[in-house]
Structure 1
Amino acid sequence: MRVGLFLTCLNDTLFPAAGKAVVQVLERLGHEVVFPRAQTCCGQAHFNTGYRRECGPLARKFVRDFAGLDHVVSPSASCVAMVRENYRDLVGESPPVYEFTEFLVDVLGVTDVGAAFPHRVAYHPTCHGLRLLDLGDRPTTLLRAVRGLRLIDLPDAKHCCGFGGTFALKNADTSVAMGTDKARAVLGTGAEVLAAVDNSCLMHIGGLLTRWRSGTRVLHVAEILAGT
């Protein structure tokens, strides 16, 4: 199967390890991963800020860039939700785009990717994954199958971390307060690592954990699944 990797702007700029992990896992499972080098932004930042007309050309370019692939996979529930929820209204079509854990479980029928990660891990279900993509227990099912990993319950896990893209810029005080609640909940679990399917949320929570010198790391789920 030929699978297109949609890395997203944030991951390409700040968290390329997530994309590399997706490639590692899919190739381990026997699939060919294609990275269209012309890919750029999906337009989510424009769309959410009210510039819907301006994100139209980006949406059309995205459709062209990923044309002809069996499936498109991304390590970002947020960007996948943008494409899936809004592209048909914007440009009349949408490629078959999947969030990474959703693709593994629903399309490939895989719940154990042969990973090992001997650490205590808490999982934060991001808003887009939880409410728009309805990922449910797909990420945690994959994490529970990882050898040596101990999955720890996160109190109030469904509460938003406060990042919200441009929300964090426009409402910084509220964003930091929400992130502080989430970071404190993470520390209360005693987890060594916080995992999620969106690096944007991990960046927000992880920034607080780093400032507090907590020693708690943040990792994309894909990076954990790539471990052997």
Structure 2
Amino acid sequence: MTVGLFIPCYVNQFYPNAAIATLQLLQKVGVKVVYPPRQTCCGQPMANSGFEHLTQECNNLFLENFAEFDYIVAPSASCVLHVKDHLHSDEEPAKAERVRAKTYELVEFLTDVLKIDKLAARFPHKVGIHQSCHGLRGLHLAQMSELNAAPFSKPVRLLNMVDGLELVTLERPDECCGFGGTFCVAEEAVSVKMGKDRVSDHVRHGAEYITSVDLSCLMHMEGILQRSKSAVKAVHIAEILNATR
């Protein structure tokens, strides 16, 4: 099995440690990982802004970079959802369909493909988990609280394998943080208020760290935490699952 490591542009620029943790974690569980160096943005920001018709060159480059691999894995639920829902090719539609089908978010890949049941990780801290909207409602990484259905959470299942980690219980476990990609620019005041509400739930319940499958959400909340001079930190789930401290 060979995995093509898809590192979204904002992760590459702002959170390289999360990218490194993803690589190391996949290698620890026995996966051969290749990083295509010519990869760029998947096109999600343009598509979210109503310009999906301008993303074809992004699509073509993504197919060129990743079509050969058995799986494509990324530490970003929102970018993975974009690829799975929107990657297309007018010239090679079957190829695009195959790539969409084998693209996975990291937690999804560890749980559904590798079926991991044990991790050699240690993170002795109180952690609050933020269920990102794309991960929760797009990729179905956990059960939505508004549904009358059996609960499950793939991120929680993996975090429960980490030695010393204590998950805190939140009042609103799957509320949006307000980031929403370009929404946080177009509706800045609403976005900030939603972010403050989301952060305060974690702080109020004693979280030392907030984690998620989406660094875009964490980036939004990290800014709010830093402006309020909070000691609470934001960290991608890959960094926790790869931790040995």
Number of equivalent positions:
228
1:182 corresponds to which of 198, 207, 231: 198
Report % sequence identity: 43
1:108 and 1:115 mapped to 2: Cα distance?
17
| Offset at residue 111 of structure 1 (A) | 3.3
- The answer to whether 1:163 aligns with 2:179 is yes
Gaps of 5+ in 2: 143-152
Q: Deviations over 1:152-205 (max 9, x none)?
A: 112212111000111111110110011011111111110110000011100111
Q: What is residue 35 of structure 1 aligned with on the other side?
A: 35
Deviation at 1:67, TM superposition (A): 1.8
The aligned residue for residue 60 of structure 1 is 60
Which residue among 201, 223, 227 is the counterpart of 2:239? 223
The alpha-carbon deviation at position 88 of structure 1 amounts to 4.1
Which of 127, 130, 133 lines up with 1:124 in the alignment? Answer: 130
| Greater than 2 Å deviation, 4+ residue runs | 88-92
The aligned amino acid for 1:115 is: A
- 1:109 equivalent in structure 2: 115
Report the 3-state secondary structure (helix = DSSP H, G, I; strand = E; otherwise coil) of the residue aligned with 1:118. Answer: coil
What residue in structure 1 maps to residue 211 of structure 2?
A: 195
Report Cα offsets for 1:33-78 as digits up to 9, x if no partner.
Answer: 1000010010000011011111111012101111211101000000
Give a deviation string over 1:67-125, Cα, whole Å, max 9, x none.
Answer: 21110100000000000011248773241110000000100010322111010001000
User: What amino acid maps onto 1:36 in structure 2?
Assistant: P
Task: Provide the aligned C-alpha RMSD in A.
Answer: 1.2
Q: TM-score, normalised by structure 1?
A: 0.97
Residue deviations 1:15-38 (CA, integer Å, cap 9, x gap): 111110111111111111100001
